[in-house]
Amino acid sequence: MEKKDLDWANIGFAYHKTDKRYVAEYKGGAWDEGKLVDDADVVLNECACVFQYAQTCFEGLKAYTTEDGHIVCFRPDMNAKRMADTAKRLEMPVFPEDKFVEAVCEVVRANAAWVPPYGTGATLYIRPYMMGTNPVIGVKPAEEYQFRIFVTPVGPYFQGGAKPLTIRISDFDRAAPNGTGNIKAGLNYAMSLHPIMEAHRAGFAENMYLDPKTRTKVEETGGANIIFITKDGKLVTPKSNSILPSITRRSLLYVAEHYLHMQVEEREVFFEEVPEFAECGLCGTAAVISPVGKINDHGKEICFPSGMERMGETIQKLYDTLTGIQMGRIEAPEGWVKTIL
Ligand SMILES: *Cc1c(COP(=O)(O)O)cnc(C)c1O
């Protein structure tokens, strides 16, 4: 198959309109068959629930070319499950998990020419999403929905190596204790736009959010979970019911334990203990792990011993092992890598 003529290493993280997208519609209490379409525009009534009351949620995963030339994606069943959990919390119908995985494969196959070749560092980002589509003016869930998937090629996350980030403690809260922090809803991102722009204007890459109730415990950043490495080589990650359950983070915990034979702790992490850690990283599908070099707490700096030049040694090992599994260089645990083509 002829690949699209793109400068794969330099496409950045931006939307490119690809050839096909998937649409399924929910009406009268049931999903239709679903199909691939050419039209990238979504036309809805002005009063659609998604516009008025933000009844929308999404997922994000990647497809890529492995060393031996296959197109694969990473743990799509986990995204299907997470979207089902999200949908329930938002009173949206669940898109069947097996159909979710099939639809992901279908869209990627239909856009195979857009899947970046092995070795470019670029990947095909897959964005499943769902929204309430019929007019709703009194506050209630929609009765009709669209589940859609589009794909867009994205460049390597780190151009010229992963430089450690400087992040800051946010004075804003990300998620209420019994709110929606644990689901992948658009609304969590709408409210994060102001804090992230304020952080950027102040020269920081990201916000680290603390638990809103006591402001003593680490939660996550706006779009990534957090892992720490202790000085004696343990992996520690915050546990809280207002953190989004990152598939990357959960995979890294498994890799740490079963591939690197590290001790792993998922527990409450007090901000007070953060200066004791040796390394820190942000994890999510886009970057896998972004190293953190420094945390700014209202002018007081916490500098990790791993420094500002490169990833910490342990985080580098975790990164290499997980990306090795994803790219087919290291044997994957059963069911982690789904072959699409
Ligand atoms: C999507 C997301 C993540 C990362 O999840 P992955 O499944 O690893 O991509 C982390 N935090 C938030 C708030 C997210 O929305």
Q: In the numeric block, which tokens belong to residue 67? A: 């060393």
Is 90 exceeded by the pLDDT of residue 157? Answer: no
- Model confidence over 224-249: pLDDT tens digits? 999 999 999 999 999 999 999 999 99
- Residue 286 CA to ligand 1 centre (angstroms): 9
Report the amino acid identity of residue 238: P
Q: Which positions are annotated as active-site residues?
A: 184
Is 90 exceeded by the pLDDT of residue 80? Answer: yes
Beta carbon of 285 within 6 Å of any ligand 1 atom = yes
| DSSP 8-state symbol, 252 | H
Q: What is the mean pLDDT of residues 72-77?
A: 98
Could you list the beta-strand ranges (E) of the chain: 21-27, 30-31, 35-37, 56-58, 61-65, 71-74, 123-132, 145-154, 165-169, 206-208, 225-229, 235-238, 264-267, 279-284, 288-297, 300-303, 337-339
Question: Please, is 73 exposed, middle or buried when counting C-beta atoms within 10 Å of its C-beta (0-12, 13-18, 19+)?
Answer: buried
Residue 77: count of CB within 10 angstroms of its CB:
16
**What sign for the dihedral angle of Cα 125, 119, 247, 99?**
positive
Is 80 exceeded by the pLDDT of residue 293? Answer: yes
Determine which of 15-19, 58-62, 76-80, 161-165 has the lowest per-residue pLDDT on average. 161-165
Q: What is the mean pLDDT of residues 67-82?
A: 96
Beta carbon of 244 within 6 Å of any ligand 1 atom = yes
pLDDT score of 60: 98
User: Domains in the chain, start-ordered, CATH in brackets?
Assistant: 8-154 (3.30.470.10), 165-326 (3.20.10.10)
Q: In the numeric block, which tokens belong to residue 247? A: 């598939």
Is 80 exceeded by the pLDDT of residue 160? Answer: no
pLDDT score of 159: 67
Is 80 exceeded by the pLDDT of residue 38? Answer: yes
Beta carbon of 219 within 6 Å of any ligand 1 atom = no
Are residues 275 and 301 in contact, defined by beta-carbon separation less than 8 angstroms?
A: no
pLDDT score of 33: 98
Give the mean pLDDT of the chain: 96
Residue 260: count of CB within 10 angstroms of its CB:
15
pLDDT score of 202: 97
Confidence of residue 334 (pLDDT cuts 50, 70, 90): very high
Considering only CA atoms, which residue is closest to atom 13 of ligand 1?
223
- Model confidence over 85-140: pLDDT tens digits? 999 999 999 999 999 999 999 999 999 999 999 999 999 999 999 999 999 999 99
- Could you give the percent of the chain with pLDDT greater than 70? 99
Out of 170, 184, 250, give the residue to mutate to test ligand 1, the one with the largest number of ligand atoms within 8 Å of its CB.
184
